Amino acid sequence: MQKLPRSFYDRDTALVARELLGKWLVHVAPGGERIGRIVEVEAYLGPHDRASHSSRGLTGRTKVMFGPPGHAYVYLIYGMHCCMNVVTEREGHGAAVLLRAIEPVRNIAGRTHGPGLLCKAMEIDRRLNSHDLLSDDFFIARPSVEDAPPIVKRPRIGVDYAGVWARRHLRFYLKNNPFVSRP
């Protein structure tokens, strides 16, 4: 298991999204070390992407997205669920990858097939917003044995308000994986 370097995140967001599939999300949480295999993600390209939070510019909430790559962007949605993103590209760009589903690897209880459920199972909340993913307690790693299963591309979920951007195939998941939120 090898921690991903900063340079992994400082690249094209859709490419980073695809390459995050199969990687391990690791959180050394109070309840123990929790590990999940990333099986579903969505790319949010930047301020020009109408589905992205960064399309409203640099605000209190989105400042993490405009920060340096390799940090966690965690926010509260619908007043009750947390969603976790990984900041990508160079500082100031405003892009991120939403983690939508994981497959349990170690110490994972409950369902994981959705961004809110993923955070609950991984013990991720807003206290981890802006946390550096090159830290030792919260990071993403390349597993010692990594396969390369086929990747499916689909429109993103829940962004119908985004016009033409809602139709872009920026959601990626591992084909036939039973832990994907919506096959």
Q: Which residue ranges make up the site for DNA (CB under 7 A)? A: 42, 44, 51-54, 56-57, 59-62, 65, 73, 75-81, 83, 85, 96, 98, 111, 114-118, 156-159, 161, 181
- Give the shortest CB-56-to-DNA separation in angstroms: 4
Looking at the Cβ atoms of 123 and 143, the one nearer to DNA is 123
Task: Tell me phi and psi for residue 4, to 5 degrees.
Answer: -70, 135
Looking at the Cβ atoms of 111 and 143, the one nearer to DNA is 111
Residue 132 DSSP symbol: B
Looking at the Cβ atoms of 1 and 109, the one nearer to DNA is 109
- Give the shortest CB-141-to-DNA separation in angstroms: 21
- Give the shortest CB-134-to-DNA separation in angstroms: 20
- Give the shortest CB-136-to-DNA separation in angstroms: 25
Residue with tokens 């990626």: 172
- Give the shortest CB-143-to-DNA separation in angstroms: 24
CA quadruple 102, 105, 106, 107: dihedral positive or negative?
A: positive
Looking at the Cβ atoms of 2 and 56, the one nearer to DNA is 56
Looking at the Cβ atoms of 4 and 95, the one nearer to DNA is 95
Q: How many CB atoms lie within 10 A of CB 174?
A: 23
Total length of the chain: 183
**What are the tokens at 125?**
């909340």
Contacts 24+ apart (CB under 8 A), 83-87: 83/115, 83/116, 83/119, 84/115, 84/118, 84/119, 84/122, 84/124, 84/128, 85/44, 86/9, 86/16, 86/20, 86/133, 86/140, 87/9
